[in-house]
Amino acid sequence: MLSFLLRRTIHTIFVVFIVTIISFLLLHIIPGDPVVRILGAHATAAQIEQLRHELGLDQPILWQYIHWIWNVFHGDFGKSFIYHEDVGSLMLERFPVTLYLVSISLILSTIIGIIGGVISAVKRGGVADSLISLFANTGIAIPSFWLGIVGIYIFGLKLGWLPVQGYTSPFGDLWMSLKQLIMPVFATSVPNVAIVARQTRSSMLETIQQDYVRTAKSKGLKQRVVLYKHALRNALIPVVTLVGLTLAFLIGGEFIIETICNIPGVGRLLVRAAMNKDYLIVQGGVLILGTAICIINLVVDVTYGLIDPRIRYK
């Protein structure tokens, strides 16, 4: 187990490393010059050259990357062009917001998805199954940004039930914070709930047919015990894998929702930075999110072994 964790950690570092290289390259390939962005359209060639030199942008890309990663190892993520602030502290300020939203969405959508899928499988062919399946099929097809926009329009502007946008810390005003949270969490969770519910349903239906479920019944166990002890635990094995995968999905949706709902998280910061070619922010964000996704996947892999004793970590 320990050697597995160690190997996976080295693996994770390697993956994050490659991800930063790719994003670094991509940022330099896409058109647009950050220096022109900073100085404006009327800057002289000399001024541009001067700033470019100051920022180290006149160096070869490889050198720039090495320079960046070297600084990162020393805790320096660089300075943002547009915010004129340290990227590290910008991230630190916004990361908890994104983490807060993503965790709530992930936990909520997983729980609701599993419950929905189980109900759907157990009451197969019934009204509940039809409704849940219908929701699951549409939910997968609806992108979160659309849900976000429509939600804001209906519940924010027309009905006035929810705040249109913004973010309040739950430690400041919990009630306001929750009200502002409903829309973005709903928008990012719906596709996730749908995916998890579908997987749980099919996995549960398959498990119910297994011989060991028949054995459990033949022992005289209550239907409830047969379903929720014997069948569900087996049915959850593929669901756990899926939850790990949907996380990346969830973070993607989070970026857009933060932008739409004007939430000061890493997502909005990154979207803005990418548009302005504030590449140090993008690099820092990619590094943090990449690491976060890798860690969650590691957690998922370990959870997998907790549910299924046939899996051993070597």
Partner 1 sequence: MAPLLEVKDLRVTFDTMNGLVKAVDGVSFTIDKGEIVGLVGESGCGKSVSQMAITQLVATPPGKIVSGEVIFEGRDLLKYHPESNMMRDVRGGQIGMIFQEPMTSFNPVFTIGEQIMESLRLHLKLSRSAARKRAIEVLEEVGIPDASVRINNYPHQFSGGMRQRAMIAMALSCSPKLVIADEPTTALDVTTQAQVLDIMMKMVEHYHNALIIVTHNLGIIARHAQRINVMYAGRIVESGPSEEVFLNPGHPYTIALMKSVPRLDEKRGRQLIPISGIPPNLINMPPICSFKPRCPMVDACQSLSDPELRPVGKNHSVRCHLNISGQNSGTIFE
C-beta of 123 vs 219, nearer to partner 1? 219
Task: Please report, as ranges, the residues that interact with partner 1 according to CB under 8 A.
Answer: 210-223, 230, 233-234, 307-310
3-state secondary structure of 79: strand
How far is 99 from 87, CA to CA, in rounded Å?
Answer: 17
Distance CA(82)–CA(80), nearest Å, equals 6
Which of 9/223 has CB closer to partner 1?
223
Angle of CA points 205, 102, 15, to nearest 5°: 90
Q: Give the span between the Cα atoms of 302 and 314, in whole angstroms.
A: 12
Nearer to partner 1, 234 or 283 (CB): 234
Q: Rounded distance, CA 182 to CA 127, Å?
A: 27
Nearest CB to partner 1, comparing residues 201 and 268:
201
Quote the least distance from Cβ 1 to partner 1, whole Å.
17
Tokens of 50: 């001067």
- Reported as type and span, the H/E element at residue 247 is helix 232-260
Question: Which two tokens mark 140?
Answer: 């997968």
Instruction: Quote the least distance from Cβ 312 to partner 1, whole Å.
Output: 10
Rank residues 50 and 210 by Cβ distance to partner 1 and give the closer one. Answer: 210
For residue 301, the minimal CB distance to partner 1 (Å) is 17
CA angle at 187 for the pair 101 and 169, rounded to the nearest 5°: 30
Work out how close the CB of 28 gets to partner 1 at its nearest, in angstroms, rounded to a whole number. Answer: 50
In the complex, least distance from residue 219 CB atom to partner 1, rounded to whole angstroms = 4
- Measured from the CB atom, the residue of 80 and 203 that comes closer to partner 1 is 203
Are residues 191 and 142 in contact, defined by beta-carbon separation less than 8 angstroms? yes
For the bound state, the minimum distance from the C-beta of residue 238 to partner 1, rounded and expressed in Å, comes to: 13
Q: Output the six-digit token pair for 63.
A: 């050198």
Q: Which residues, listed in sequence order, are joined to residue 79 by a DSSP beta bridge?
A: 86
Q: Give the nearest distance from C-beta 99 to partner 1 in angstroms.
A: 31
Structure tokens at 217: 């019944």
Give the CA distances from residue 8 to residues 19, 207, 246, 287, 308, in Å, rounded to whole numbers and listed in that order: 16, 30, 20, 17, 19
Give 27 or 118: the residue with its C-beta nearer to partner 1: 118
